[in-house]
Amino acid sequence: MTGLQRSWVESANSAETDFPLNNLPYGVFSTSNEDERCGVAIGDQILDVALLESEGLIKLGPKPVLDLPFWNDVMELGPDKWAELRARLTELLGKGGDPALSGNTELRAAALVLQADAKLHMPFVVSEYTDFYAGRHHAFNVGTMFRGPENALPPNWLHIPIGYNGRASSVVLSGTDIRRPWGQLKGPDDPRPRFEPSERFDIELEMGAIVGTASEGPITLDEADQNIFGYVLLNDWSARDIQAWEYQPLGPFQSKATATSISPWIVTAAALDPFRCKTPPREVELLAHLKDTGPMLFDIDLSISLQPEGGTDSIIAETNYNEMYYSAAQQLAHHTTSGCAMNVGDLLGSGTISGPEKHNRGSLLELSWGGKEPFTLDDGTERSFIEDGDTLTLRGAAHGDGYRIGFGACEGTVLPALKSPFG
């Protein structure tokens, strides 16, 4: 593992920043006087790469791909260009690199925007969204609650990464308020269903992998790994009571369609490369098309915090992406087995990332054991599920020697349900 790479942007040379030169994550931002365009986080600044492209300091192809409100066109250029862009940014921002930017006072002033002065937007157009159920501890916890520990894992679970298609239109940027949903509910004691606001609204701490290269037919695990452009934090907001009533026999539907929040910066697979790690030991040998061929998971520390309205922020769970049983590459490879075409901008949710201990659980459903064991916040108040006004925040970072590859926060505040479902 290399140490901190130094930049002439001084705020990037701290062990605490999410965005050292080693990271260079991709986002979309706007300022009071300019529309949405592509930017790269560096320290406490955003580098306006659309401006650098128009000034000729970055040239990726025959037409501009950075003065756009999404990174999809860069992804379309393919992995060689991804590597070229990263190398060029390192050269332009690194201490002692190409002085074309660092040595041009006027351009520096125009191209570096303080993050505090910018508004962030969705970093890419989500083509389709798939959500998986590939965390061993989460599947075991949820299965135990519903079926007992002997039958916790479905028979297929150790053989394929179980997934379902989610709703791309549900994906929103961190910071977007989340309205508590209405839905059809039927508790075990209700004689018939009722249409009411969800009473068991929850989160799921996940990582999202972004497909950067399209494919038509089945692809190998190595191809899948190469096709992933980058990662974000992902919160799969989940209405447990709507889910319990609707999910048999065809899976979750409206329970997962209210919102899916993502963190604003795409952290590239290249930036995470030093943090690759293996999946846990296989409990059953995987079939050839899914068998691990190398380290494709990542060592990323993750946390959830909850802040009641007007209260203080409590960390309620801490876990790590390396707890997953299946990597995003395995999920993507499985996704293509039937000939399913994958497109640039497809987003794959990892599934809830829980660890072995109680404090490692990635959902309130698990933290409160289905509401039966409420947990306590730092200020002494109790929670089973989300209450109106609560702000839920996911954070994540890979930790290197003297630096961190951070994701920025993925947060959302839950607003009360509408008085009538129809506004």
- Check binding of 345 to a copy of itself (CB under 8 A): no
Cα separation of 402 and 221, whole Å?
32
Burial class (CB in 10 A: 0-12, 13-18, 19+), 32: exposed
Do residues 211 and 343 touch, judged by C-beta distance below 8 A?
Answer: yes
Q: Does 179 bind a copy of itself (CB under 8 A)?
A: yes
**Residue closer to a copy of itself (CB basis): 51 or 153:** 153
Among 96, 310, 339, 380, binds a copy of itself (CB under 8 A): 339
* Cα-Cα end-to-end distance for the chain: 53
Contact 49, 59 (CB under 8 A): no
Q: Is 399 a catalytic residue?
A: no
Considering the complex, state which of residue 1 and residue 418 has its C-beta at the smaller distance from a copy of itself. 418
Instruction: Pick out residues in 106-135 that bind a copy of itself (CB under 8 A).
Output: 127-128, 133
Distance separating alpha carbons of residues 66 and 64, to the nearest angstrom:
6
From 137, 138, 334, 335, the catalytic residue: 138
Please name the residue that has the structure tokens 């604003």: 264
Within 227-286, the residues that bind a copy of itself by CB under 8 A are 239, 242, 245-255, 257-259
Q: Which long-range contacts (CB under 8 A, 24 or more apart) does 189-198 make?
A: 193/245, 195/421, 197/417, 198/239, 198/240, 198/241, 198/242, 198/417
User: Measured from the CB atom, is 4 or 239 closer to a copy of itself?
Assistant: 239
148 contributes a contact to a copy of itself by CB under 8 A: no
| CA–CA dist 22, 42 (Å, integer) | 9
**Is residue 83 part of the contact set for a copy of itself (CB under 8 A)?**
no
Q: Are 208 and 262 in contact (CB under 8 A)?
A: yes
Candidate ranges 26-34, 59-67, 184-192, 272-280; the one touching a copy of itself (CB under 8 A) = 184-192
| 159 forms part of the interface with a copy of itself (CB under 8 A) | yes
Interaction of residue 95 with a copy of itself, rule CB under 8 A:
no
Which lies closer to a copy of itself via its Cβ, residue 378 or residue 388? 388
Interface stretch with a copy of itself, choices 16-24, 115-123, 275-283, 330-338 (CB under 8 A)? 330-338
- Kindly indicate which of the ranges 109-117, 213-221, 310-318, 398-406 contains the residues binding a copy of itself, using the contact rule CB under 8 A: 213-221
Residue closer to a copy of itself by CB (options 238, 368) is 238
Tokens describing residue 287: 């079939």
Q: Give least dist CB 107 to a copy of itself, A.
A: 37
H or E stretch at 226: helix 221-227
Cβ pair 110, 48 in contact under 8 A: yes
Q: Give the binding-site size for a copy of itself (rule: CB under 8 A).
A: 63
Q: Judged by CB under 8 A, does residue 362 bind a copy of itself?
A: no
**In 294-389, where do the E strands start and end?**
297-298, 301-307, 314-320, 347-349, 375-376, 382-383
Chain residues in the site for a copy of itself (CB under 8 A): 127-128, 133, 154-156, 159-160, 162-170, 179, 181-184, 186, 192-195, 217-220, 239, 242, 245-255, 257-259, 287-289, 334-335, 337-343, 418, 421-423
* Catalytic residue ranges: 138
